[in-house]
Amino acid sequence: MIDGFNINWGSRDRVITIKDGIFTIGHFIGTYEEAKDIILKNYKGKEAEDYISKLDGAIDMKWFTDEVHEELKNDEDWEVRYVVAEYSDKYHSELKNDEDYDVRSAVAKYSDKYHEELKNDEDWEVRRVVAKYSDKYHNELKNDKDYDVRIAVVRYSDKYHEELKNDKDWRVRRAVAEYSDKYHEELKNDEDVDVRIAVAKYSDKYHDELKNDEDYDVRKVVEDFTKKPKIKN
Per residue in 122-165, pLDDT (tens digit) is 999 999 999 999 999 999 999 999 999 999 999 999 999 999 99
Whether 202 is in a domain gets the answer yes
Q: Is 52 part of a structural domain of the chain?
A: no
* Mean pLDDT across the chain: 82
Give the CA distances from residue 217 to residues 151, 191, 203, 214, 223, in Å, rounded to whole numbers and listed in that order: 23, 14, 16, 9, 10
Q: What are the pLDDT digits (tens) for 192-206?
A: 999 999 999 999 999
Cβ atoms within 10 Å of 198's Cβ, excluding its own: 25
Q: Tell me the whole-structure pTM to 2 decimals.
A: 0.71
Whether the predicted pLDDT of 21 surpasses 90: no
The residue type found at 50 is D
Look at residue 97 and tell me if it is in a domain: no
Q: Is 98 exposed, middle or buried (0-12, 13-18, 19+ CB in 10 A)?
A: buried
Q: What was the pLDDT predicted at 230? A: 53
- What's the residue count for the chain? 233
What is the maximum alpha-carbon separation in the chain?
74
How many domains in the chain? 1
**Containing structural domain, residue 195:** 158-227
163 within domain boundaries: yes
Q: Is 208 exposed, middle or buried (0-12, 13-18, 19+ CB in 10 A)?
A: exposed
Of the candidates 113, 153, 147, the one whose C-alpha atom is nearest the C-alpha of residue 129 is 153
